[in-house]
Structure 1
Amino acid sequence: MTQVLVAGVMWALVVSLLILRRGRADRSITYAAVMIALAMTLNVDPVYEVTDPLLGGTNIVTLIGDALLMIGLYFLGHGVMKAGDYRPRLIRLAVGRPALCVALALVLALFLSINSGATTTTFMHDIGDQLQAFFYSVTVFTYCGVVMAAMHALAISQWTATRGLMRVPAVCLTLGSASGIVLCISVWVMDIAHVTGATSVLEAASAWYGPLTLASFLLLCAGFVAQPLARILRRQSHGVKTDALLAQLEPMWHTATKLRPGLSNQQHSNGLSTDPESQLHRHVVEIRDAMIDPRIDYVINDYQLAILERAEQHLLGAPLAKRNDGTTA
């Protein structure tokens, strides 16, 4: 049941990203979602039982699914890293292509050395006592754990660098990657318990596998869906505030441009339209120009000055908001 839920969540993420992130140049997160969704779908028992016999019935689908998961996590970590400015060397190595290639080569070599038997939906349960299978699983989840740890560090850096609504995706990614790290640790414990014959430890660790898997992917998916949604909501909020400030500045601006005609009057006479952000900027500039022009007598009261300063802070905050939007890939 957990496999079906996780696969469904991942395909829902794929659809959401295709809608919410269309037009973006960087597709790393979308590629990651597709790869991981395919990996989780292949892990669904009915799908596995149909596809593996078609490929020879030697559990090769286990290798394909694990490889897709590793590649998906590579794109995931790469996308999160590119979204922020925090990119230390150790993290670049962890989510880099060389690390992925080495891990995939090692996983392939170990899988080929395993006596994998006939198609089974309980691969590690059936052959987990083989030393080669132990090293195979440990290698897969060591790579996954390393990428999750790198994502955790990146998510924490984004959490501290953002505020308000933009902090929500970073919080989800922080919690999701933390759950992923614990999941990888639980798999290591299961592998060690299986190869050493510690049945009670294996059963105890197995009980955590399903909930941790579901929690990890739910939180990570929530984080990646929340990113574009938060950007959309922030842009809408910014636009509403821009319109409100324009309306508040309008009387001051009309008075200022009557006394000192500026570029806005020329644009209006030429039939040129500008976006609200540009209009607000022009209003602020022309009001300030009128205030400092010694040829005219233009004075505003404290209340009007406070509105003008709020408009200036709003405009100055636009570049910062744009940087923070980028954190959420």
Structure 2
Amino acid sequence: MRFRSLRAAAVTLAAALAAALGVTSPAHAWGEPGLPSLNITDTYVTGISSGGFMASQLQVAYSGTFKGSGIVAAGPYYCGKGGIVTGLIACGTGLISTDPEGIENITRRWSAEGKIDPVSNLAGKPVWTYHGTKDPLVQDRVSDEGVQFYRDFGARTAYHDYDPAGHGWPTPNAPLPCGWTFYPFLINCGNDPQGEMLRHWLGSGNVNAPAATQTGTLTEHDQDRYTPGGWAQWYSLGSKSYLYTPSSCAAGEACKLVVALHGCLSDNKFVGSRFARESHLNEYADTNHLVILYPQTDISLVRLNPQGCWDWWGYTGSDYAQKSAPQMRAIVNEVHALGG
């Protein structure tokens, strides 16, 4: 009883602090519907920048759930090691090593302790990595060490590391030139990385050409109800996520799920639904029986996360890269709600 009283007091204090700092309470979010239950067969994850780090965390921690991953402009799993300073130096500038051997040892230990899924699950998993030669935020060495991490655990890797790309999500229809690193972080390098990623995941003969125009439906869904504690903002998550559903998947046909994670400065507070509309995944979804889930972060003064980054350095807690991490649990809860 005393524990419950203390917990209640802590929640009340947290709510008061959040209110003082202008953080929105969860009461506003329940107007959005929950996610639909669909006929999902397999689940994959991809992301850019902080979303790329989070995609890697999901692939490793929940390797029994995710069948493959696509890492764009990011580095190895657990790269930040619980500190933003270490994260920025090792995982961005590459001035010091990310310590691949140490990270792999930690990964094996957490696997043995049950804090993440068995690392043996990574063997044979398709992992596709993209990194531009002009990326000013994540250096070549950092991305290289991320690829080597997966190779050391037996994953089936593909590495696209030759485009003169800046730090952004590359698509054939993006508004910015290839080498730029600028809002809205959508760059065009004259090729089709999304198709390349899907072919690596599913096999070259199993991926149809993308639709000329999107014919599915992009909808908004409440994210609070899938977050531990029911308050997404407390963990710097947005109150809603986006879901792109082709008509065939909505009608009950068997479909695969792709979780697509935006980067910093790219959640709906910064770009609206732009990443969800312009990722070039939706066009492939329409012709390949794919459903695309776009979870959202939010800025948080409480978490010292003013750019709305995914937690790749530990601002939600020391377990941020383990299965118990609140942001990953929220995403996996959404995956399960969809039927994945």
**TM bracket, shorter-chain basis:** under 0.3
TM-score (norm 1): 0.25
Larger Rg: 1
Which one has more relative contact order, counting CA pairs under 8 Å at least 6 apart? 2
Bigger proportion of residues as helix:
1
TM-score (norm 2): 0.24
